[in-house]
Amino acid sequence: MSPEIFLKRPVVEGNRWRLDCILKRKAQQGVRIFIMLYKEVELALGINSEYSKRTLMHLHPNIKVMRHPDHVSSSVYLWAHHEKLIIIDQSVAFVGGIDLAYGRWDDNEHRLTDVGSVKRVLGGPSLVSLTAETTGSMESLCLKDKNESNKNLPVLKTVDDADSKLKGIGKPRKFSKFSIYRQLHRHHLRNTDSISSIDSASNTGSIQSLQTGVGELHGETRFWHGKDYCNFVFKDWVQLDKPFADFIDRHSTPRMPWHDIASVVHGKAARDVARHFIQRWNFTKIMKPKYRSLSYPFLLPKSQTTAHELKHQVPGSVHANVQLLRSAADWSAGIKYHEESIHAAYVYVIENSKHYIYIENQFFISCADDKVVFNKVGDAIAQRILKAHR
């Protein structure tokens, strides 16, 4: 989890939609926020969850963060629950595979480059001067030199054309001041607080930088700032405590596009997701001495009888019969007998398949050569193939 990621791109409202700022804003409004992070083996995985915990805990007393598991005391080194959940009021739950971390935000364009430098075009006459009203709305912009001929303006090139993607990775973008607003308008972005003023008298032509809690952001047209511009094949993250400092050269290294899956459930299904989180939270509080203080409360699940009372509903949702499945054991949830409802469901649907099986799983485990692996998914696939052949 990366506290400094932006949930809306490009950044045109300052830090309003930065994750840590959103959490702090809600905590100040009285919302209690509980976060569980995977505690990594630092030599094997450099995600620096300690930095994320420390950063989030310093935001507001209403934000509580735990890390789990303790590898030495629990003897858990080689596995963890690979779950990404967001539960709101125990009534809405997002369940999926996407992390709130660097490199995950993307759209259908899957851009390979994001140089994002805002530079003044050198040479030629001075560009059209723009002023913005205090509301910051696009409609309030007015042209001062609207009588100036457009034919003398330098030719501007956009960076999203095919040639620049293939050939111009190392070339800086050149934008006039007006083209910045034109690009924002093209993306249907009305509020332009992050580019709230342009100093037309300045010879540098620079745009006012975004002020953040850990430094300044330059080049507001970027979609991926600092560590968010990444390529896992080329290089893993370093210095995660410096979120807005680049760690790869975006002029020569393309970013790694991202595509992920997530779902949202409401009502009783969301209650079940909440109960799963509460069970793991309370178990972690009991097992780790540092969390036994009153500052880390026990959580209580809400009643199922009120699950149908939905105060919030994600647009586009449809009615469906769903069931929550999971895996849980003594080391993760404190239950005596391990639960493998998700494993049993995989095996069942494979054995009862009629025409086609499609599996997309980054952590698929099966057995071969008589080795002892208790995951029966591979066996179920083999048996279903033999059944179809007969």
Range of the domain at 362: 340-389
pLDDT recorded at residue 196: 32
Answer yes or no: do 100 and 28 share one domain: yes
Q: Report yes or no on 254 lying in a domain.
A: yes
pLDDT at 73: 66
* Contact in structure between 366 and 373 (CB atoms under 8 Å): yes
Q: What share of the chain is helix, strand, coil (3-state, %, to 5)?
A: 25, 10, 60
Global pTM reads 0.71
- Classify residue 148: in a domain, yes or no: no
HSE toward the beta carbon, residue 105, CA cutoff 13 A = 22
**Does 79 reside within a domain?**
yes
In this structure, the answer to whether residues 363 and 296 fall within a common structural domain is no
What is the per-residue pLDDT for 288? 87
Same domain, 81 and 33: yes
**Exposed / middle / buried, residue 314 (Cβ in 10 Å: 0-12, 13-18, 19+):** exposed
User: What residues contact residue 178 under an 8 Å CB cut-off, 6+ apart?
Assistant: 127, 128, 130
Report the DSSP pairing between strands 210-212 and 327-328: unpaired
> Do 232 and 256 meet the contact criterion of CB atoms below 8 Å apart?
yes
Query: Per the domain annotation, does 166 fall within a domain?
Result: no
SS3 state at 365: coil
Q: Specify whether 98 is located in the same domain as 228.
A: yes
Size of the chain in residues: 390
Q: Does residue 61 sit in the same domain as residue 112?
A: yes
Instruction: Look at residue 1 and tell me if it is in a domain.
Output: yes
Is residue 127 domain-resident? no
In a domain, 154, yes or no: no
DSSP string, 142-209: EES-TTS-GGGSPP---S-SHHHHHT-TTSPP---HHHHHHHHHHTT--B-GGG----TT-SS-PPPP
pLDDT at 8: 92
Which secondary structure element, helix H or strand E, spans residue 27, and what is its range?
helix 19-28
pLDDT per residue of the chain (390 residues) written in tens, 0 to 9: 999 999 999 888 889 999 999 999 999 999 999 999 998 887 777 788 999 999 999 999 999 999 988 766 666 766 677 889 999 999 999 999 899 999 999 999 999 999 875 333 344 443 333 333 333 333 333 333 444 444 444 443 333 333 333 333 334 444 444 444 454 445 444 433 333 333 333 333 333 333 444 443 444 578 998 999 999 889 888 888 889 899 999 999 999 999 988 999 999 999 999 999 999 999 999 988 889 888 999 999 999 999 999 888 999 999 999 999 999 988 889 998 889 999 999 999 999 999 999 988 777 777 766 677 788 898 899 999 999 998
Same domain flag for 239 and 362: no
Q: For residues 327 and 64, is the Cβ–Cβ distance under 8 A?
A: no
- Does the bond joining 61 to the residue before it have cis omega, within 30 degrees of 0? no
Q: Does one domain contain both 360 and 229?
A: no
Looking at the structure, tell me whether residues 260 and 111 fall in a common domain: yes
Q: How far apart are CA 176 and CA 207, in angstroms?
A: 11
Give the number of domains in the chain: 2
C-beta separation of 246 from 215 below 8 A:
no
